[in-house]
Amino acid sequence: MTGSRVPPKRHSIGLLEFGTPRHRLAPGPRGTALSGSLPALRRDGLSTLIDAANRYGDVVRIVFGPRIAHLTEYLIRDPDHIHYVLFEARESYVKSYQYKLMGRALGEGLITSDGALWARQRRLIQPGFRHSQVTAFAETMIEASLEVSRTWRELADEGKPVDMPAEMMRFTLDAVGRTLLSSDLADEVGTISPAVGFLEQDMVERMSSLSGFAGYLFPRIPTPANRRMLAALRTLDSAVNGLIARRRAMPESERPADLLSVLMAARDVETGQSMDDRQVRDEVMTLFVAGHETTANALTWTWYLLSTHALVARRVREELRAVLAGRDLAPEDVEKLAYTKAVVEEAMRLYPPVAAITREALHDDEIGGFHIPARATVMISPWVSHRNPRFWPAPEAFDPDRFLPGSVERPRLAYLPFGAGPRQCLGTGFALQEMVIALGVLAARFEPALVPGQRVEPQFGVSVRPRHGVSMTIHDAE
């Protein structure tokens, strides 16, 4: 049963829940008396969530903090429950406090904004990601991939390893700069990518500790963590505000037809209102986080999986040889790379770009027969949903055939690497095309291999990143 309202018998103040609720509780791990499941989440958040879902079912109650006064999240994985929260009852499930905290760094961009502001910004930005616009970016994405190819050629000749996450960060930032901002960000990669990576990890660290959480509530207190956060923000603000200022200085007739120009020129048809520089900054900042960090991580995991699954890598190269016949990838080839696309989609099933999506219940509610109190956080984790054995046989296996035409049908919300519902990532088509092109250009020429002894371990964060990095050597494709 989902969606039945229950009488509001609360034991809570704001987000804090006191004692034991009187309603039918969802099952879940007890954790420790003083910290609940917080220590387990800090040690290995991804395994903690998987173990909880496999042990307790489709609705799991997870407590953070002491049992007498704690924060509570409800992990859901059944596609019907996810549909309820993201579609049917979306007006009752708003952005959670995690997004509000992220907003202290990112501002009020599409990821963090809500209500009328979010709706207005979505209307203004959506034209920049329509299908025809995204396909027009293919040529530029190919050029950015060929730039990586030239670097890899030198590395292959010299036998030097590559830091794959850093390499993919450079590529995706270059692609975002060229396509959406008409800017060459090569000189700023060394400052932008580390700043983005730091802010992402800083958010996770702060949300999983009481002292860090307090620091986020009071960011101007000069603690070491706050000083590091503000320094990273200054780095990104300098880059973003520089882009905006240079574009403002250009005559409108000379401005390139990219997303930045769309943001600066757009006017809401309902209000006639345009974006000020602060709002443009917030949206470009969001692009840096959502448009290059998550895609770079997804590409890194794809290269890792190809290096550990020789037969899959061979099938990718065979498809590329059949489609390209020895020539360079062209934009019209992208839609022909069915198996290469399936590899990317399966890689995002195992290592989704976003580890968790959270919403806050505005009212007391019920999901799957279990009480969801007002102000509680509901968590939808693609990492967990993508491993649900009901819909994914051998869920830990890397099997791109799952995504080929004619494969077994499954509920649409069993797979949601870019989220779902009205708030699904606007850049879904952009990111998928970018990843297929990168593989199409680079896998036709090279075969990255893990450095012997490399320890590869996923880390729970805003995105799923490799905890210890991924070092690879570049070899010529057979």
At what angle are helices 115-125 and 277-288 packed, to 10 degrees?
A: 80
Closest to 231 measured CA to CA, from 241, 219, 243, 242: 219
* Confidence class for position 10, pLDDT limits 50, 70, 90: very low
Residue 58 three-state SS: coil
Task: Examine the pLDDT at 166 and tell me if it is beyond 70.
Answer: yes
Q: Which of 55-64, 103-112, 188-197, 202-211 has the lowest mean pLDDT?
A: 202-211
Task: Examine the pLDDT at 344 and tell me if it is beyond 60.
Answer: yes
Q: Which of 37-41, 294-298, 310-314, 446-450 has the lowest mean pLDDT?
A: 37-41
pLDDT in tens, 415-439: 999 998 888 888 899 999 999 999 9
> Average pLDDT, stretch 113-117?
83
pLDDT in tens, 379-406: 999 999 999 999 999 999 999 999 998 8
What is residue 6's predicted lDDT score, i.e. its pLDDT?
A: 45
> Average pLDDT, stretch 132-148?
93
> Average pLDDT, stretch 295-299?
94
Closest to 444 measured CA to CA, from 361, 325, 310, 360: 325
Task: Examine the pLDDT at 327 and tell me if it is beyond 90.
Answer: yes
> Average pLDDT, stretch 146-165?
92
Q: Looking at domain 118-308+421-478, which CATH architecture does it have? A: Orthogonal Bundle (1.10)
- Determine contact, residues 346/394, Cβ cutoff 8 Å: no
Enumerate the domain spans of the chain. 118-308+421-478
Task: Examine the pLDDT at 154 and tell me if it is beyond 80.
Answer: yes
What is residue 464's predicted lDDT score, i.e. its pLDDT?
A: 86
What CA–CA distance (Å, rounded) separates 57 from 185?
Answer: 46
What CA–CA distance (Å, rounded) separates 4 from 239?
Answer: 49
User: Interior CA angle at 291 toward 47 and 177, to 5°?
Assistant: 145
> Average pLDDT, stretch 444-465?
89
pLDDT in tens, 226-281: 788 888 888 888 888 888 888 888 888 888 878 888 888 877 767 777 788 888 88
What is residue 338's predicted lDDT score, i.e. its pLDDT?
A: 97
Closest to 415 measured CA to CA, from 406, 26, 424: 424
Q: Which residue has the higher pLDDT, 301 or 464?
A: 301
Closest to 428 measured CA to CA, from 468, 382, 385: 382
Q: How far is CA 266 from the centre of its chain?
A: 26
- Cβ contacts of residue 170 below 8 Å, gap of 6+? 148, 186, 189, 193
Task: Examine the pLDDT at 113 and tell me if it is beyond 80.
Answer: yes
